[in-house]
Structure 1
């Protein structure tokens, strides 16, 4: 048997209508509420219709409470309609009540608002569907709400089918975030809007399972966690205050009580003598709230069965608080926090003030969110074209064009050429370190230390002031060079030595060049691979559901392997050319270096063998004064007297007896001079070969290689391009979501413009 009570209707007369509250049950808010506030309330309701509350924090009142907290009775009292009360039809989805005073006859329109689909996934754009015709008879509202809730809880079935079908109360889901909207208007209706949320389930034993308990809490939290949500907290006086979970949840999201209005229900069920325990709440002495606690008394189940009217219910509520201690004994200051009429007046005022304050901010937030959404959309790849062949071709050309820029060089610290350059310099240094470390003096005897022998000063000048440390090289002493030369003699005349001696020394350093060259090539290959892989992801990751990116990656890597092999082959040829034997047509360069090295070697040797003469000549050169160094000056003057003019102090060493190591000095100067020629040649040619065959080589013929590899120009080209041009589900989904959000936001913006905000 239904517990609906059709006598709960303002159309039924009751003698109490002439009492102190002749309100006909519903019109309890200020009838002189300004038109401006009314327009703002209507505007927020229209904004809710757009679904923009997903993106913007819209002002609203959310009614929450634990199960059996009297929440439904309070909603009925405010709205003037009867809610379903049959077993199993308690509130299982949000129910929005939009009340507006009107001179037209009373009416109620019910809409279903779908935020998620049947799988619980967000729709992006809210879908609103009117559920049946407008209702003009209050007695039919309860049944329509019951059917609407059944439609919400069975998302796989067409909602309209629940208007005609009489089915068992089956539920595909227990609770839903999709909601019912009741738009009620009439001459005795308050200007108010609020949403009734499912009651919080205390425990499994109180009619739910763990999943339902968590689901309801998440649903309630989604509303009350928003800063612009006014929380209407219902607390039943028949249950211990501390055991009501709704209060604890409210404290979590509004710890200072700035946006919570407390409502005590069922005061007539407080055990005798315990009433004083609840009065500190009304006086705001306990759990203080900025908007205070209120207390209301709704009809009992027996009153409902007996067919009490709204006017009668309000009259009995007034009598209860006027005649029942300790409520009747409260100071007049706190009497305004008793009775439903006072609560509704306060709710209307709070909501209107909140809307008035928030509207300018909402407009700014909408504009900012629209711009951010558009910017995010602009960052997504362009949607797939209707011409897939042209689309893929455009993608490939764009990729190859961007790659050419990278290969030619971009002015960025993380550019490809900038990253490669330190490795090229490291290669040059590695080749430079293979220079033979000739020492123009005999090998020290065992136990005697060898003194340091740095490279000549002129080499550091040529290398940009870089000093080369020889400590890591194996020294080659002059007696070892002469020993090798003597061992190599065959039929040569006395004083002559075969060129094979120079060749043997040259072969020793050229044989060390292959390893650093290969290391450089591998590094460039790895670096190039990383840069191209990142570029491929930028150009192709959003298409073909990842398939296009994968196929291009494989084709490019295969082509890069070919270019790396070609670079390795050219490197091997260049190294082989050096290993075949010494050769240069740069005779002037070679001769100049030989002169410099021979002079340096001889100078070092002469200083070691004739230190007195060497020091005197050096000092004479630095301080050209006959008074300071008369010996050198006298020798030069004597030689001039016998006709040997034009002789400098440095020429005096030629008067010394011949050095038996002169052949070795010439060999050392030959080899060291040739190293400079070959070192500079190989230090340039190897990076050039890698750049030509690998770096620039990847850019050559890559586009036709991709066309052939993907089969774009083949007989299956159109089919292949259609597959490759498909956008990845994640990008497509993100675009769809952003477009729906943009539509939602722009619709809300137009609503604001329409009313002049």
Structure 2
């Protein structure tokens, strides 16, 4: 499985020469995590091979795969440790040489005729601005290498190519090894991938990252943050085994890698500690470091601390072999008393070979535990990715004209249903209806507030209700009361009507009055109808437009880059503006019709004139000199005419009159007796009042029907008439440039397209990972 290091830095035990490495003799097996030959070792190898295949699918982007990350400060001996574990020599140079990650995958090929080979690839995961790419780009860097001596130089050049993206790869690959124009990046998250296979090669992989920078003396503030972020991106994952490398020549509390490990693994459950450079321990401090091996003190770890000893600078320059290096390590721990005298139970935590065995066991156990979990996580992620894909707009087809035509047709069908009316409580017609009722009430309130008595007695007199309207107007709650009907109008007393009547006389005969008086009163009423009509018109316009634009968003919002939606909105707003103007013209026309009184419903007008006239006369009798007789007539209406006494009371006298008329064969009732009273001098004014009030009943009902009908015809249903042709014409999808226009309208949003591409690639790699796992899980 993955062995990940955070640096290939020089130290006091490193050299600056490119040949400073110890060779690996052919008769010595490669050291690695999967070189065991027993049955247990074979199972481990199969598990490691499976995780390698999962890494090849790229699922580590989405799933937490088991891995080992080696972390430590610069000069902590990580490079020498990785070389001892893997048998691979890393590039070395003076100063900090590893400024970009280097991934190394090792595969053992036991075939008799197998040849050692190495393929180096540059993997780009961010662009030049540092923005992450949706999918990594893999580019081979040079030909396949069959000579181990060429690997170190090729790796160095590949790292330089990443740090100098402005220079062509071929120039760096084939040109001067020291090529540098001063514009190189300090660090980069793009990395080199090295795949090595052949006999004697261990089965493992690691990623060598820049070492942790301890201070601004070793790098800028940005460098410190960048390197620390790279390290954290590995060790924060729950399935990452942290191989914490600590140099014995530096106070442990001053080594930042320890603090990072404790930050992400505070209980030490997945950290393996490694003490390096034990030959550099200051005399007298040995017991302090031996305490780590005994897992005592403040830095206890579940998997304990180990101690290894790697070749120093002199031994590397002399060309020490791997076998000699291991012998030197054994000799060191055997001859130094502090290590030699440790109990056997602690001796197993000394030497590289013991560390490798323990790491192999920890990693294989973690892989065995995680594989079923990884399989389940992949299935859930596959399902979630399918759901995310389904939420995206439909991918544009190769025939945008058909797509747009189908969308517009569907929109027109939905538009027709919307304008015709749907049963939802918040649908268009349901929103309009309350304002139509309000409009009707406003028109009713414009009824003239006639008072059939003199102004002096008017303010103290209450006008009785029009009870004969009760069965006709289903809008009571007091609205048919004369005062409520005309709440915003000043009372018009009978003497004012009479005065206007007399002032308007010209050549009329006696007892005749000019028609212009009635016309004037009616025009005063109809002039009040414009404001409520326009208010209703504007409300219906606003509400209808909102509902239609809501439908536009529903149908077009997620199509392409929103161009179709924006153009449709502009076209609809203009079309609705045109319908508004046409509707206003229609309302004005209706108002103009009402300017001059007219009706063919003469029976309705005559009937109401008689009712209003009787009502006004009765009201006037209640206040006039014949009030006593009027009261007697009202009482008589509630009594039996045949029952009377010999008294001289008004009711008895009137009863005797009606009885006598009956004996003469004349049928009459109490209301007929009113005609016997002297004629009211205000009778012409009462006639005008009754005529105007009766005409209002005819006109207002007609108008409160016609205006909503006109608005519905011209604006609501009128919007739909010929709108399909209007919309397609304005969009130009049936014109000479229809193909180009449809392609532009159908062009998908870059954000949506990128999101779909990311999800499809994610789905592809997860399915590939699932296929690999399904073979064994």
| TM-score of the two chains, using structure 2 as the length reference | 0.81
Aligned residue runs from structure 1 range 700-719, under 5 A: 700-719=721-740
| Distance in 1 separating the partners of 2:471 and 2:343 | 101
1:46 corresponds, among 46, 53, 72, to 53
CA contact (8 A) 2:23 2:321 kept: yes
| Distance in 1 separating the partners of 2:519 and 2:214 | 96
Residue 565 (1) aligns with residue 581 (2): yes
- Shift of the 694–477 alpha-carbon distance from structure 1 to 2, 3 Å rule, reads closer
Match of 1:672 in 2: 693
| Distance in 1 separating the partners of 2:368 and 2:630 | 101
1:739 corresponds, among 757, 760, 763, to 760
SS in structure 1 opposite 2:233?
helix
After superposition, the C-alpha distances for 1:338-361 in whole angstroms (9 at most, x for unaligned) are: 443343333333333333333333
| Distance in 2 separating the partners of 1:323 and 1:677 | 123
Match of 1:638 in 2: 656
| Distance in 2 separating the partners of 1:349 and 1:58 | 16
| Distance in 2 separating the partners of 1:525 and 1:50 | 58
CA contact (8 A) 1:52 1:744 kept: yes
- Shift of the 338–706 alpha-carbon distance from structure 1 to 2, 3 Å rule, reads same
Match of 2:372 in 1: 360
| Distance in 2 separating the partners of 1:500 and 1:76 | 116
| Distance in 2 separating the partners of 1:568 and 1:221 | 69
| Distance in 2 separating the partners of 1:435 and 1:668 | 11
- Shift of the 356–640 alpha-carbon distance from structure 1 to 2, 3 Å rule, reads farther
CA contact (8 A) 2:392 2:752 kept: yes
Match of 1:79 in 2: 86
1:7 corresponds, among 22, 28, 39, to 22
CA contact (8 A) 2:449 2:486 kept: no
CA contact (8 A) 1:438 1:475 kept: no
- Shift of the 403–281 alpha-carbon distance from structure 1 to 2, 3 Å rule, reads farther
| Distance in 1 separating the partners of 2:164 and 2:333 | 43
| Distance in 2 separating the partners of 1:730 and 1:184 | 39
Match of 1:297 in 2: 309
2:235 corresponds, among 219, 224, 230, to 224
- Shift of the 85–486 alpha-carbon distance from structure 1 to 2, 3 Å rule, reads same
CA contact (8 A) 2:91 2:155 kept: yes
| Distance in 2 separating the partners of 1:420 and 1:322 | 97
Match of 1:263 in 2: 274
1:62 corresponds, among 55, 59, 69, to 69
| Offset of residue 144 of structure 1 | 3.5
| Distance in 2 separating the partners of 1:693 and 1:268 | 97
| Distance in 1 separating the partners of 2:619 and 2:608 | 16
Match of 2:217 in 1: 205
- Shift of the 28–477 alpha-carbon distance from structure 1 to 2, 3 Å rule, reads closer
CA contact (8 A) 1:455 1:470 kept: no
- Shift of the 101–387 alpha-carbon distance from structure 1 to 2, 3 Å rule, reads closer
Match of 1:373 in 2: 385
1:314 corresponds, among 318, 323, 326, to 326
1:150 corresponds, among 139, 156, 160, to 160
CA contact (8 A) 1:110 1:134 kept: yes
| TM-score of the two chains, using structure 1 as the length reference | 0.83
After superposition, the C-alpha distances for 1:680-709 in whole angstroms (9 at most, x for unaligned) are: 333332233233222333332333334433
- Shift of the 265–662 alpha-carbon distance from structure 1 to 2, 3 Å rule, reads farther
Structure (1 or 2) with the larger CA radius of gyration: 2
| Distance in 1 separating the partners of 2:586 and 2:230 | 69
| Range moving further from structure 2, 551-560 or 23-32 | 23-32
| Offset of residue 187 of structure 1 | 7.0
| Offset of residue 85 of structure 1 | 1.0
| Offset of residue 659 of structure 1 | 5.2
| Offset of residue 260 of structure 1 | 3.6
Match of 1:584 in 2: 599
| Distance in 2 separating the partners of 1:214 and 1:719 | 50
Aligned residue runs from structure 1 range 388-467, under 5 A: 388-443=400-455, 458=469, 462-467=473-478
- Shift of the 270–715 alpha-carbon distance from structure 1 to 2, 3 Å rule, reads same
- Shift of the 464–433 alpha-carbon distance from structure 1 to 2, 3 Å rule, reads closer
SS in structure 2 opposite 1:475?
coil
SS in structure 2 opposite 1:462?
coil
| Range moving further from structure 2, 113-122 or 213-222 | 113-122
| Offset of residue 245 of structure 1 | 3.3
CA contact (8 A) 1:57 1:228 kept: yes
- Shift of the 499–264 alpha-carbon distance from structure 1 to 2, 3 Å rule, reads farther
CA contact (8 A) 1:620 1:632 kept: no
Match of 1:16 in 2: none
Is there any run of 5+ residues in structure 2 with no aligned partner, and where? 1-15
Aligned residues: 744
After superposition, the C-alpha distances for 1:460-502 in whole angstroms (9 at most, x for unaligned) are: 9734455434584123143344444444344445554434333
| Distance in 2 separating the partners of 1:437 and 1:252 | 86
SS in structure 2 opposite 1:4?
coil
SS in structure 2 opposite 1:180?
strand
After superposition, the C-alpha distances for 1:397-425 in whole angstroms (9 at most, x for unaligned) are: 44444433433334445544444444444
Match of 1:474 in 2: 489
SS in structure 1 opposite 2:528?
coil
Match of 2:353 in 1: 341
After superposition, the C-alpha distances for 1:25-76 in whole angstroms (9 at most, x for unaligned) are: 4468755435454333322222222222223333333333332232222222
| Distance in 2 separating the partners of 1:702 and 1:600 | 53
- Shift of the 737–416 alpha-carbon distance from structure 1 to 2, 3 Å rule, reads farther
CA contact (8 A) 1:107 1:134 kept: no
- Shift of the 51–498 alpha-carbon distance from structure 1 to 2, 3 Å rule, reads same
Is there any run of 5+ residues in structure 1 with no aligned partner, and where? 14-22
| Offset of residue 83 of structure 1 | 0.8
| Distance in 1 separating the partners of 2:444 and 2:597 | 17
CA contact (8 A) 1:594 1:669 kept: yes
| Offset of residue 513 of structure 1 | 2.0
CA RMSD of superposed structures (Å): 4.2
| Offset of residue 457 of structure 1 | 8.6
SS in structure 2 opposite 1:62?
strand
| Distance in 1 separating the partners of 2:520 and 2:706 | 23
CA contact (8 A) 2:448 2:486 kept: no
CA contact (8 A) 1:261 1:291 kept: yes
| Range moving further from structure 2, 127-136 or 295-304 | 127-136
CA contact (8 A) 1:431 1:683 kept: yes
| Distance in 2 separating the partners of 1:232 and 1:122 | 28
SS in structure 1 opposite 2:514?
coil
| Distance in 1 separating the partners of 2:616 and 2:623 | 11
Match of 1:748 in 2: 769
| Distance in 1 separating the partners of 2:312 and 2:638 | 122
| Offset of residue 82 of structure 1 | 0.7
| Offset of residue 556 of structure 1 | 3.5
- Shift of the 691–57 alpha-carbon distance from structure 1 to 2, 3 Å rule, reads farther
| Offset of residue 511 of structure 1 | 1.1
Match of 2:4 in 1: none
Match of 1:178 in 2: 190
